[in-house]
């Protein structure tokens, strides 16, 4: 099992009384409040809730529970996850040019931010679910529209969404042949790297301190080659997004480790942006585009749920165990309305948690977590604190455990 030392910090806390003098030989309660590691999930299911909509609201693409079930789900979601991915698929976000879904997504983003959740927008540029009205534009006009869309949305959400999957699946973008679309045309005519540069420049110039990701499902050398080219071209990528939909079966520790090592070579943080593990039948291996697999019924099964729980534990241990990984986003909280109808959720369609939910919660909130613990300060007011990096409190006063060393906290009067 990999060492988790890179996730932990050993600090010595000096606790001061409200008057500034050390609190000596006294019991204090130290408790973890949050993780530095980003345990993410999609937030698609809560857009309707945040907007007080009913079930008639159109669900977002790629996953989204009915509004009526979202309130019950929210507690389960918030008990485990600290990072949400919200959908900005252009074809859904702005199906009619000039009428973006900004207000609705802003309310959803604030709903999460108000609950202490880091929010990411996904994606700003992609050939799938692309704005249909790009079809009538010239390539130059597509480029201008893409640029303007990014500048508008990154500006509109700045402060509440400061992390973006800027551009998605560029490896395949210029040769994507499933449906004609403006982005494929742009990437074919101008090249992948100029298209990436356009998107990153627009996002970076609009929100210079944002965390900007390149994201792809292609884990082959193709994505490595693309990343190398992008970095050589001087485009600043803040994190490498690795999708990891495993509808066709869990990768296993060895393959996952190899992928992480290969992409860690660039020295950038890795975000596992879209992890999926099924609790039912696997998708046949011959399917290349997951969207091609359409089945009328895809139930969660007891055996599948046991397997999913085992695999989610192994997957998260591998990810948390690798020093380059900074975020792991699971793709779906519930089977209700799940992408492709797959039993990918951590919660069944009836709202009850699957074993995988309990397993992940146990890891995130128990094994990798410091529950409220009574400790006694020394004669100089000092007490060692060791735990997963994140936010903590001592007698209710917050502090950060970000690295080994000294931390001083002054209690409130």
Give the residue ranges of DSSP H helices in 114-267: 139-157, 182-190, 192-206, 221-232, 253-264
Angle at 90 between CA 107 and CA 207, to 5 degrees: 65
Give the number of residues written for the chain: 413
DSSP secondary structure, 46-63, as one string: GHHHHTT--TTSPPPTT-
Kindly tell me which of 322 and 348 has the beta carbon lying closer to a copy of itself: 322
Distance CA 231, CA 296 (A): 44
Residue 2 or 194 with smaller CB distance to a copy of itself = 194
Nearer to a copy of itself, 5 or 220 (CB): 220
- Residue 253 CB, shortest distance to a copy of itself, in Å, is 17
**Nearest CA-CA partner of 370 in 40, 8, 116:** 8
Q: At what angle do helices 67-80 and 355-362 cross, to 10 degrees?
A: 30
Strand 211-216 relative to strand 27-35, pairing: unpaired
Smallest gap from Cβ 142 to a copy of itself, in A, equals: 17
Instruction: Please check whether residue 347 is in contact with residue 357, taking contact to mean a CB–CB distance below 8 angstroms.
Output: yes
Nearer to a copy of itself, 99 or 286 (CB): 286
List of residues contacting a copy of itself (CB under 8 A): 171-172, 174-175, 188, 191-194, 218, 220-226, 228-230, 232-233, 262, 265
- The closest alpha carbon to 218, from 243, 240, 237, belongs to 243
Beta strands in 217-324 (DSSP E): 239-246, 270-277
Q: Return the number of the residue (172 or 344) whose C-beta is nearest a copy of itself.
A: 172
For a copy of itself, the closer of residues 216 and 335 by Cβ is 216
Return the number of the residue (176 or 392) whose C-beta is nearest a copy of itself. 176
- Tell me the closest approach of the beta carbon of residue 329 to a copy of itself, in angstroms: 24
Distance from C-alpha of 240 to C-alpha of 326, rounded to nearest angstrom: 10
**Minimum distance of a copy of itself from residue 193's CB (angstroms):** 5
Question: CB of 258: closest distance to a copy of itself in angstroms?
Answer: 9
> What is the smallest separation between the CB atom of 351 and a copy of itself, expressed in angstroms?
42
CB of 62 to a copy of itself, least distance (A): 23
Residue 196 or 342 having the CB closest to a copy of itself? 196
Alpha-helix runs per DSSP H in 28-161: 47-50, 67-80, 90-93, 102-113, 139-157
Q: How far is the CB of 220 from a copy of itself (least distance, A)?
A: 6
Q: How far apart are CA 369 and CA 181, in angstroms?
A: 46
């Amino acid at each position: 099992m990999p060492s988790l030392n890179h996730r932990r910090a050993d600090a010595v806390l000096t606790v001061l009384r409200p008057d500034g003098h050390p609190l000596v030989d006294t019991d204090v309660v130290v408790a973890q409040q949050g993780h530095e590691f980003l345990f993410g999930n999609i937030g698609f299911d809560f857009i309707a809730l945040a907007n007080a909509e009913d079930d008639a609201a159109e669900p977002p693409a790629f996953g989204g529970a009915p509004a009526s079930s979202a309130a019950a789900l929210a507690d389960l979601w918030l008990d485990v996850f600290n990072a949400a991915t919200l959908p900005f698929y252009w074809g859904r976000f702005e199906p009619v040019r000039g009428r973006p879904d900004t207000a609705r997504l802003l309310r959803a983003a604030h709903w999460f931010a108000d609950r202490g959740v880091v929010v990411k927008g996904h994606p700003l540029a992609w050939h799938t679910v692309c704005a249909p009205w790009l079809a009538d534009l010239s390539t130059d006009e597509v480029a201008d529209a893409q640029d303007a869309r990014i500048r508008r949305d990154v500006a509109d959400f700045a402060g509440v969404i400061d992390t973006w999957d800027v551009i998605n699946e560029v490896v395949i973008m210029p040769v994507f042949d499933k449906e004609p679309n403006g982005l494929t045309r742009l990437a074919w005519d101008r090249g992948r790297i100029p298209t990436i540069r356009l998107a990153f420049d627009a996002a970076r110039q609009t929100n210079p301190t944002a965390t900007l990701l390149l994201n792809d499902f292609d884990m082959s050398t193709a994505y490595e080659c693309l990343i190398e080219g992008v970095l050589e071209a001087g485009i600043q990528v803040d994190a490498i997004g690795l999708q990891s939909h495993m509808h066709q079966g869990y990768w296993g520790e060895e393959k996952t480790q190899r992928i992480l090592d290969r992409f860690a070579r660039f020295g950038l943080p890795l975000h596992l942006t879209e992890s999926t593990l099924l609790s039912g039948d696997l998708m046949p291996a011959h399917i290349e585009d997951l969207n091609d697999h359409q089945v009328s019924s895809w139930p969660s099964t007891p055996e599948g749920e046991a397997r999913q729980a085992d695999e989610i534990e192994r997957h998260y241990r591998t990810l948390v165990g690798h020093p380059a990984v900074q975020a792991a986003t699971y793709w779906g909280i519930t089977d209700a309305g799940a992408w492709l109808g797959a039993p990918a959720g951590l919660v069944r369609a009836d709202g009850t948690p699957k074993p995988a939910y309990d397993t992940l919660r146990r890891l995130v909130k128990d094994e990798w977590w410091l529950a409220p613990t009574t400790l006694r300060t020394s004669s100089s007011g000092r007490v060692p604190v060791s735990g997963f990096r994140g936010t903590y409190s001592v007698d209710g006063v917050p502090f950060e455990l970000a690295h080994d060393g000294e931390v001083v906290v002054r209690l409130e009067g």
